[in-house]
Structure 1
């Protein structure tokens, strides 16, 4: 009697995304303690300032054998987009300010960040699968895991920062990051950096 033996090969993957790291934190360090005080009655998981970033594209679990090809395409993308300026402004929430689950700083600037995002999508087409959701640049600074206790209060506090804005700063590179899940939340590691087009 012949025995059929099946061999299973486990593919090594990394949970990756493309982002702009936020290094300019002077104004954030001034405003965040006040925001935390305003929302002290809510159960919020605050993001480590060292992990602040703008997600340009979330790729997710990816075969590590694709990483070098992805990096090559990202370098090509960087060579096409010149450095640009942005600033953080106002506060908001996903899925809406009335049902806050993710708290964020808005991003203000010209169309350059959208040009960069579009070029990433073009360069990585047929290699990875980007989400079809509309690109909305933001910087997450807190997460409300178990729902809002006082929705109206949270809405009022967030709206009170509608006129706030950070100092303008230059974006000269973007990064490929790995997100590692842990009991304390996501841990981010920069896998590679990609400079934007030199003048």
Structure 2
């Protein structure tokens, strides 16, 4: 069985806990088919799909020096959002405030991956943390239900992680390589 890989910003345990506790409260009135396990929360920078490890290692080699020149930076949880049809979203997510350093980190990772031959998603980068999938409510999804929900936390981004996906496990993402920013 081939595994899929992706590069992402991991979240610290305290931020995962804040998101999980909020999701537990709102899941009572937001029926999604699948809520993401808290250990799988992350911000994807580049999804590689099924990949040869030699190519993945080349990408890691290329991005390591530029990432190590970057200093850790703070990110703030910001809002909820969806992807897919507004009435029946396929992805429900938590966003982060706009941050130039996050976009810079993503550019380094993206460019290193494309340089070694990965064909990546070309849509504009929309940083988010997927928390649920596939709306299953009998009624349409209404974002106004979230107006009263507070979600506030900030955390330090100090690393980029290569994850391997295991669809047969929970949690399903395994960290296989970590690149620390300048400590």
Contact 2:45 2:106 survives alignment (8 Å): yes
SS at 1:94 equivalent: strand
Distance 1:62 1:80, change over 3 A: same
1:13 Cα deviation after fit: 5.0
Contact 1:89 1:166 survives alignment (8 Å): yes
SS at 1:81 equivalent: coil
1:106 aligns with 2:91: no
Aligned-partner Cα distance in 2 for 1:51–1:185: 9
Counterparts in 2 of 1:133-148, with a 5 A limit? 133-144=123-134, 147-148=136-137
Aligned-partner Cα distance in 1 for 2:38–2:121: 26
1:87 aligns with 2:72: no
Q: Which moved more, 1:70-79 or 1:57-66?
A: 70-79
> Which stretches in structure 2 are left out of the alignment for 5+ residues?
none
Q: TM-score, normalised by structure 1?
A: 0.80
* Higher RCO (C-alpha 8 Å, min separation 6): 2
SS at 1:34 equivalent: helix
Contact 1:98 1:155 survives alignment (8 Å): no
Distance 1:79 1:188, change over 3 A: same
Partner of 2:111: 122
Aligned-partner Cα distance in 2 for 1:87–1:93: 18
Partner of 1:157: 145
Over aligned residues, Cα RMSD in angstroms?
2.2
Q: TM-score, normalised by structure 2?
A: 0.86
Partner of 2:18: 27
Partner of 1:36: 27
1:196 aligns with 2:181: yes
Runs of 4 or more above 6 Å deviation: none
